[in-house]
């Protein structure tokens, strides 16, 4: 049996991919401009990638009101860490290896803002107050020193047709998290009870 043909270096990649255009190579800037700032002001959702101690990558979704990520300057942004499952995957990774990658989305906009930088975690009082929502303070605040920021073209979102309302999955077409938990952990209680508890937690511990 013939072994699969793996590509394991940059030279091998360039045998099947063309060189990027000059504008593509030069589109990453070391700071935010007015367009990047405006995108952050409108974005209610991003994913952040970090590196685990074992070298594996990790990606976590974060959401809030539009503009919940604040540009403190052209080279630094901040976002609150709201209640979650307390695994602390991203935060634990950051304290060991601060390099992060972030992808910001705006519903209805097909372009994506990508940002790479170095992250730190703080409980600095002025930042904790800055991100207090409905009298609830965040658990901590993540600061990111921007090293690269650039806009990504629309091809991925166009291929996925992500914002097309007709592509929304009908309710019930995929199991609820309660049903998934019941199956994965062989829980003896009905899935509806698990879903009810999860919904109550989401309502009372959203911030």
Per the structure, the count of domains in the chain is 2
pTM: 0.93
pLDDT given for residue 5 in this prediction = 83
**Same structural domain for residues 64 and 110?**
yes
In this prediction, the residues of the chain whose per-residue pLDDT falls under 50 are 1
pLDDT given for residue 2 in this prediction = 52
pLDDT given for residue 26 in this prediction = 86
**Same structural domain for residues 196 and 104?**
no
Mention every residue, 6+ apart, whose C-beta is less than 8 A from residue 142: 78, 79, 80, 81, 91, 94, 119, 120, 121, 122
**Same structural domain for residues 188 and 135?**
no
**Same structural domain for residues 78 and 98?**
yes
Residue 150 is part of which domain span? 21-160
Mention every residue, 6+ apart, whose C-beta is less than 8 A from residue 127: 78, 141, 143
**Same structural domain for residues 30 and 76?**
yes
Compute the distance between CA of residue 174 and CA of residue 192 in angstroms, rounded to an integer: 14
Which helix (H) or strand (E) element contains residue 12?
helix 10-14
């Amino acid at each position: 049996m013939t072994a699969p043909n793996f590509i394991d270096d940059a030279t091998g990649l360039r045998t099947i991919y063309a060189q990027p255009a000059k504008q593509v190579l030069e589109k990453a800037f070391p700071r935010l401009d007015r367009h990047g700032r405006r995108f952050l002001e409108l974005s209610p959702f991003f994913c952040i990638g970090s590196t685990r101690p074992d070298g594996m990558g990790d990606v976590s979704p974060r959401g809030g009101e539009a503009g919940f990520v604040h540009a403190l300057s052209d080279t630094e942004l901040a976002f609150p860490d709201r209640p979650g499952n307390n695994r602390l995957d991203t935060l634990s990774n950051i304290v060991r290896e601060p390099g992060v990658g972030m992808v910001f989305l705006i519903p209805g906009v097909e372009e994506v803002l990508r940002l790479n930088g170095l992250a730190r975690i703080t409980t600095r009082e002025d930042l904790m107050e800055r991100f207090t929502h409905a009298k609830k303070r965040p658990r901590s605040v993540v600061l990111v020193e921007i090293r690269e920021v650039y806009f990504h073209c629309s091809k991925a979102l166009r291929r996925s047709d992500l914002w097309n309302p007709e592509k929304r999955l009908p309710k019930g077409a995929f199991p609820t998290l309660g049903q998934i938990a019941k199956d994965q952990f062989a829980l003896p209680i009905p899935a509806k009870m698990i879903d009810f508890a999860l919904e109550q937690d989401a309502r009372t511990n959203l911030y």
